[in-house]
A and B are shown apart, each in its own frame.
Chain A
Amino acid sequence: DARVTQTPRHKVTEMGQEVTMRCQPILGHNTVFWYRQTMMQGLELLAYFRNRAPLDDSGMPKDRFSAEMPDATLATLKIQPSEPRDSAVYFCASGQGLNTEAFFGQGTRLTVV
């Protein structure tokens, strides 16, 4: 049963610390997304990759967020320095293009205190 795997599932950190979230997309999927979900903003697309190339990261605060795909089996989302307003659930999803089903991971619940 192929799944998108995200680590860690939960993260509590102090303001100013670096946070790294990891995602293993489903093998064979060429599109990887990072979403942020909060009660106030709903589901926001932060960035996505096609064939490991970043295509759109306009939803991401560039001064503190960065997303990379070092290889086809790993996507990372980093926040440095973290702030309390970054507290949210971060979802990674993968698929075979934008216009097909996106399979979501279980999410990383981030709390910045």
Chain B
Amino acid sequence: GENVEQHPSTLSVQEGDSAVIKCTYSDSASNYFPWYKQELGKRPQLIIDIRSNVGEKKDQRIAVTLNKTAKHFSLHITETQPEDSAVYFCAAIKDGKTSYDKVIFGPGTSLSVIP
């Protein structure tokens, strides 16, 4: 069946360094790819998203790149800060407004930023 793989499962970086998390999806019809950040004991919150007609999107220190041919997309965080420490989830969503729509989350990456 369809799935989303996410790597690495844990990531430790020094404050100020960059962090990269990669997701691979199986359903080529997926057309929406959000990234959610979940701090300990809190709810997931969207940090950035990208649609299948776009290759890259940036928002300050956060960027997402999408390679539709290879079916993978990546989250890039630059100049990491301790408050970036959290679990990050990617998702691959197929929204065809039909009963075949799918929402699949990756298993998550626990990011620790060491001061």
Task: Show the binding face of B for A, using Cβ within 8 Å.
Answer: 31-32, 34, 42-46, 49, 51, 89, 93-95, 99, 101-108
Q: How far is the CA of A91 from the CA of B93 in the complex (A)?
A: 18
Please indicate the chain A residues that have their CB under 8 angstroms from the CB of B51 in the complex: 99
Q: How large is the interface on A (under 10, 10 to 19, 20 to 34, 35 or more residues)?
A: 10 to 19
Q: How far is the CA of A33 from the CA of B93 in the complex (A)?
A: 13
- Quote the shortest CB–CB distance from B87 to chain A (angstroms): 9
Sample of 6 more A-B contacts, CB < 8 Å, known A56-B99, A101-B49: A42-B107, A43-B44, A45-B105, A55-B99, A98-B101, A106-B43
Please indicate the chain A residues that have their CB under 8 angstroms from the CB of B89 in the complex: 42-43
Within 8 A of B (CB), among A34-83: 42-45, 48, 55-56
